[in-house]
Amino acid sequence: MVAAGVLGAFVLGRGNPRGLALMEATPDGAWRSFLAALICLPAFLALRIFGWGAEVPAGGLARAFTAELIGYVIAWFAFALLSLAMVRVWGKGALWPRFIAAWNWTNIVQYTAILAATLFGATGVPMWLAQGAALAAFGYAVWLEWFVARQALGVTPLQATALVMTDLALGLFIGGFIERLSGG
């Protein structure tokens, strides 16, 4: 199940909608796909550490890690709930388990791309190259989420964009809240 979800995510990551067929598109499969959050957690923590750099967060390391973990869990599940409400309004509620399973598993691909770009940027390459790699990874992650929404739900490009924008806005909101919570 995990191997199939991860394989399906990487197939989707290449722009191939056949990756959806490798994922369990049932309500139980959607629940099981939240294992992707555990798989992504080390990459998330590594990205947070890179973001802090040599500076210890103002509220201390323990407080910052606790706040970040709380935000991570909230963001992961809040988007799932918001997306369910959105797709029900669009009459696509029956397809939500397939979408959320694909969204969860493709987070692994997104974190891999962003972490790779971050590590590349930390190798001492010129700043413009590091920033270009980071921008490319972010753009890829946004495209992949949009592609997954289009393929898994069969929604319009505008509806897929609305899902992506909701996820980004939610991430910014929670990120700001977590920064204040961690003493930043």
Q: Which residue has the tokens 């390459």?
A: 125
pLDDT confidence of residue 50: 85
CA distance 39 to 108: 7
pLDDT tens for 137-178 read: 999 999 999 999 999 999 999 999 999 999 999 999 999 988
Q: Is residue 100 a contact partner of residue 80, using CB atoms and an 8 Å limit?
A: yes
Domain boundaries, the chain: 2-181
pLDDT confidence of residue 52: 75
pLDDT confidence of residue 180: 82
pLDDT confidence of residue 25: 93
Position 184 confidence tier, pLDDT thresholds 50, 70, 90: low
Pick from 44-48, 53-57, 71-75, 92-96: least confident: 53-57
Closest CA to 163 of 180, 147, 181, 174: 147
What pTM value is reported for the model?
A: 0.93
Closest CA to 20 of 167, 137, 147: 147
pLDDT confidence of residue 18: 97
Please state, in angstroms and as integers, the Cα–Cα distance from residue 151 to each residue in 73, 171, 182, following that order: 26, 23, 38
